[in-house]
Structures are given as structure tokens and as C-alpha cells.
């Protein structure tokens, strides 16, 4: 009788979810997409949740009969309820994917078999038919095809999550040291450079509010051309329409060639007097600093700041009563519709990890 390895099942699910989130899907039969669309338009959540468990069972052991989710159904059956309780449901909870509150087999009668005859006792026959069609594709597919079918299913779960409102973890009170740890945790998250930009914008907005400054703060999305967005950098601080400070927030190394290119393509052309590189990890090279010093002697300010040090020092100066401004600004930015759900979940995990320490 097949005995599934639940730790291995969760590891496999996490790997496939990561692939689905990066949209790396192998080519599969066209009907899979249409069938999945029916499943995810169905009001019966458990059909698609059961299906994910069947996908895992099929990938872990191709001798399993994925139509037999109860151990009393024969030597080729698998324990669908335990797979749900130990792997599938925790996965949904961890990734804030909308799912059934109870076990995913709850909508079926006990000891159900996933066969056409079962439809007689079900209300949602269209959804169940789509479920059976997907099962048939899993049964007839080779390992790579089953892997692709699972990834496509996970992409539908990601779309379902992204279309829902994700509640953000709120911070009531943190010490200065805890804020430093929070910034560390956020900077370790792979966000394509988005989180460092959000941290910088939140800090500038905090300074503006704390000191009642007449600033306008503009910022752009990652990989958006400055001219296209109407900003002089990743973040631009203006007063009465004039640029006070242009900021480039970067996770990449800052080398001499980058400083020279920035000077020629942005600082000179836009007439920027004060340009700031805010970096998260790699220190600017000595050659980059030397190039900035050369431009300084010509009347152009190009400076470098490490983002965590900059944020923590500013939070120290504004006092404990005003530090909550920073948390509120971060929550406001993260709550935007254009912020990926993965970034919001990363924030929640960072906050959760911080308060559990």
C-alpha cells in the first residue's frame, strides 16, 4: 500500500509554487486551461483543493490511484485527509490563498471515490465534471506533464489569491532595535528591488509628516524608465515643482561606470543638484566614490547611503511617538493594488517572525 512522504510532499509543493509564481510553465494540452477555469469559477472550493492533493499524490508515487482518497479503498489508495491536514491546507494558510475552512473532502460523502457515478449525489455537477477531466489528464500524463498540470493549477490559485484582499500585519509598537531587525528581514526578501524602494519612500514620507515639510514625493515602479514616469530617479523629492533630491535605490553594486552614466544621462540633462544612491547591500566601490568626488568639485552632489543605517538613524532622531508614522506609511504603500501579493505576504512573514523572536 503506498505510503506518501508528507515532508517531501510539502517540499515538492513549495518548489512547484515557486515555479508557478515565476510563470515558468511547460507546454501542456490546451484543454487543461479551460478545465481549470471551470474549476476556479465553481463555488465548490473543495474540488480544486482536492485536485491539488491528487496532483501531489500522483507526482510522489505514480502507483497511487488518485481516485481512491481513503485507505480502506484498496492497496493502491492514499490518505487524502492526512495529505490535506498536513500539507495542502497549511500551504493555503501560509500563502493566504482563499480555501475551505474544513477538510477538503468534507463536501463529499465519506469513502467517496472520484468516479462519474459520484456526480449523482452532488449539486455542482459541472464543477465535478471539470475535476474528473483534470484527473484523467493526470492519469494519462507522464511525470513532466503532471508537473506542468500541477503548476498550471497553482497559477490559478495564485490568481485567486491576488484577486482577493490580503490583510496586512500591523505593528503596534517596536523598539529602535526591532525596527532595525525589521528592515534587515525586509531587505533579505526577493522583491525585484520593490521593498527597498517602498522603505525609502516610507521614510521620506515619515520625515515630511514629522517636520511638516512642503515636500512632494514621487516614486516609480521597478524597471520603469525615469522619463516615462516623469521622475528624476526611483524616488524624487520636489518643492514647488523643483527637484530637491533625486534618489536611486539599488540592490546592485555601484561602480564607477554607473556613477558616470548617471551623471551624463540624468544629473546633467535634468539639472539635478543633489543625487543620492541608497543601497541595500553592496558598498560603492572606491572608484565610484572617487568619481562622485570629482563631480562634487565641479558643483554636483552625488552621495551614497546604506538604507538600513539611514532609516534607523532617522527613526532614532524623530522619537518613539513619531516612529509609528513609518509603520503606517509602509502599510499604506503595501496596501496598494499594484503591490504584488507575494510582497504583502513577505511583509506579514517578516512582522510575524519579528514578534515571535
Q: How far apart are CA 292 and CA 266, in angstroms?
A: 14
Mean pLDDT, the chain, as a whole number?
A: 89
Residue (of 47, 27, 22) closest to 37 by Cα position: 47
Mean pLDDT computed over 42-57? 93
Q: How far apart are CA 348 and CA 186, in angstroms?
A: 10
Beta carbons of 226 and 219 less than 8 angstroms apart: no
Can you give the C-alpha Rg of the chain in angstroms? 26
Q: What is the DSSP string of 257-315?
A: HHHHHHIIIIIHHHT-SEEEEEESSSPPPHHHHHHHHHHHHTT-EEEEEEHHHHHHHHH
Mean pLDDT computed over 200-210? 96
Residues 157 and 218 in one domain: no
Last-in-domain residue among 140, 162, 184: 162
Q: How far apart are CA 20 and CA 174, in angstroms?
A: 35
Q: What is the pLDDT of residue 105?
A: 74
Residues 79 and 208 in one domain: no
Residues 144 and 186 in one domain: no
Beta carbons of 245 and 216 less than 8 angstroms apart: no
- Judged against a pLDDT cut of 80, whether residue 2 lies above it is answered with no
> 170 lies in a domain?
no
Q: What is the pLDDT of residue 29?
A: 59
Q: What is the pLDDT of residue 233?
A: 84
> 251 lies in a domain?
yes
Q: What is the pLDDT of residue 228?
A: 44
Most confident of 92-96, 120-124, 203-207: 203-207
Q: What is the pLDDT of residue 125?
A: 93
Residues 236 and 352 in one domain: yes
Q: How far apart are CA 187 and CA 291, in angstroms?
A: 27
- Judged against a pLDDT cut of 80, whether residue 155 lies above it is answered with yes
Name, in order, each residue with C-beta under 8 angstroms of 66's C-beta and a sequence gap of 6 or more: 54, 57, 58, 78, 114, 135, 138, 139
Mean pLDDT computed over 199-209? 96
Residues 52 and 194 in one domain: no
Mean pLDDT computed over 122-137? 94
Q: Which domain holds residue 32?
A: 6-162
- Judged against a pLDDT cut of 60, whether residue 357 lies above it is answered with no
Whole-model pTM?
0.69
Long-range contact pairs involving 78-81 (C-beta distance under 8 Å, separation at least 24): 78/2, 78/4, 79/4, 80/50, 80/53, 80/54, 80/104, 80/105, 81/105
Q: How far apart are CA 164 and CA 297, in angstroms?
A: 53
Residues 107 and 14 in one domain: yes
Residues 219 and 148 in one domain: no
Beta-bridged to residue 237, according to DSSP, are 217, 245
Grid cell listed for 251: 540592490
- Judged against a pLDDT cut of 80, whether residue 30 lies above it is answered with no
Q: What is the pLDDT of residue 28?
A: 57
pLDDT category at 178 given cuts 50, 70, 90 is: very high
Q: How far apart are CA 20 and CA 304, in angstroms?
A: 37
DSSP state of 102: S
Total number of domains constituting the chain: 2
Tell me the percentage of the chain whose pLDDT exceeds 90. 61
> 167 lies in a domain?
no
What SS3 class is residue 249? strand
What SS3 class is residue 206? helix
Q: What is the pLDDT of residue 25?
A: 54
Residues 41 and 134 in one domain: yes
Q: What is the pLDDT of residue 229?
A: 46
Residues 114 and 257 in one domain: no
Specify the range with the lowest mean pLDDT, choosing from 1-15, 246-260, 307-321.
1-15
What SS3 class is residue 120? helix
- Residue-wise pLDDT for 285-324, tens only, equals 999 999 999 988 888 899 999 999 999 999 999 998 889 9
Mean pLDDT computed over 234-259? 93
- Judged against a pLDDT cut of 60, whether residue 197 lies above it is answered with yes
Q: Is 274 exposed, middle or buried (0-12, 13-18, 19+ CB in 10 A)?
A: middle
Beta carbons of 129 and 119 less than 8 angstroms apart: yes
Q: What is the pLDDT of residue 147?
A: 94
Where residue 201 sits, what CATH number does that domain have? 3.40.1350
- Residue-wise pLDDT for 59-106, tens only, equals 999 999 999 999 989 899 999 999 999 999 999 988 889 888 777 777
Residues 279 and 307 in one domain: yes
Tell me the percentage of the chain whose pLDDT exceeds 70. 94
Mean pLDDT computed over 246-271? 92
Residues 32 and 10 in one domain: yes
Amino acid at each position: 500500500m503506498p505510503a506518501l512522504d508528507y515532508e517531501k510532499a510539502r517540499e515538492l509543493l513549495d518548489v512547484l509554487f515557486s515555479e508557478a509564481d515565476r510563470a515558468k510553465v511547460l507546454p501542456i494540452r490546451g484543454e487543461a486551461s479551460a478545465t481549470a477555469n471551470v474549476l476556479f469559477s465553481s463555488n465548490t472550493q473543495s474540488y480544486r483543493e482536492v485536485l491539488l492533493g491528487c496532483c501531489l499524490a500522483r507526482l510522489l508515487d505514480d502507483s497511487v490511484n488518485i481516485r481512491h482518497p481513503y485507505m480502506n479503498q484498496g492497496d493502491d489508495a492514499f490518505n487524502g485527509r492526512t495529505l490535506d491536514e498536513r500539507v495542502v491546507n497549511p500551504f493555503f494558510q501560509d500563502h493566504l490563498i482563499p480555501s475551505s475552512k474544513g477538510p477538503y473532502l468534507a463536501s463529499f460523502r465519506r469513502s467517496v471515490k472520484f468516479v462519474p457515478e459520484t456526480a449523482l449525489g452532488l449539486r455542482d455537477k459541472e464543477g465535478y465534471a471539470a475535476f474528473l477531466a483534470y484527473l484523467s489528464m493526470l492519469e494519462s500524463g507522464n511525470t513532466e506533464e503532471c508537473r506542468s498540470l500541477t503548476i498550471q493549477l497553482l497559477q490559478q490559485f495564485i490568481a485567486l489569491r491576488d484577486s482577493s484582499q490580503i490583510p496586512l500585519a500591523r505593528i503596534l509598537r517596536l523598539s529602535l532595535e526591532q525596527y532595525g531587525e525589521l528592515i534587515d528581514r525586509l531587505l533579505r526578501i526577493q522583491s525585484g528591488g520593490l521593498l527597498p524602494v517602498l522603505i525609502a519612500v516610507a521614510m521620506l514620507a515619515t520625515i515630511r509628516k514629522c517636520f511638516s515639510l512642503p515636500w512632494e514625493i514621487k516614486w516609480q515602479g521597478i524597471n520603469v524608465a525615469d522619463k516615462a514616469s516623469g521622475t528624476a530617479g526611483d524616488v524624487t523629492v520636489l518643492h514647488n515643482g523643483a527637484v530637491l533630491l533625486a534618489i536611486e535605490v539599488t540592490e546592485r553594486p555601484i561602480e564607477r561606470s554607473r556613477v558616470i552614466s548617471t551623471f551624463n544621462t540624468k544629473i546633467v540633462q535634468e539639472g539635478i543638484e543633489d543625487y543620492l544612491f541608497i543601497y541595500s547591500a553592496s558598498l560603492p566601490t572606491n572608484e565610484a566614490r572617487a568619481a562622485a568626488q570629482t563631480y562634487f568639485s565641479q558643483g554636483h552632489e552625488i552621495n551614497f547611503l546604506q538604507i538600513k543605517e539611514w532609516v534607523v538613524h532617522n527613526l532614532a532622531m524623530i522619537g518613539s511617538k513619531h516612529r509609528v508614522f513609518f509603520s503606517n506609511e509602509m502599510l499604506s504603500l503595501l496596501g496598494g493594488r499594484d503591490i504584488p501579493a507575494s510582497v504583502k505576504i513577505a511583509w506579514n512573514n517578516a512582522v510575524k517572525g519579528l514578534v515571535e523572536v
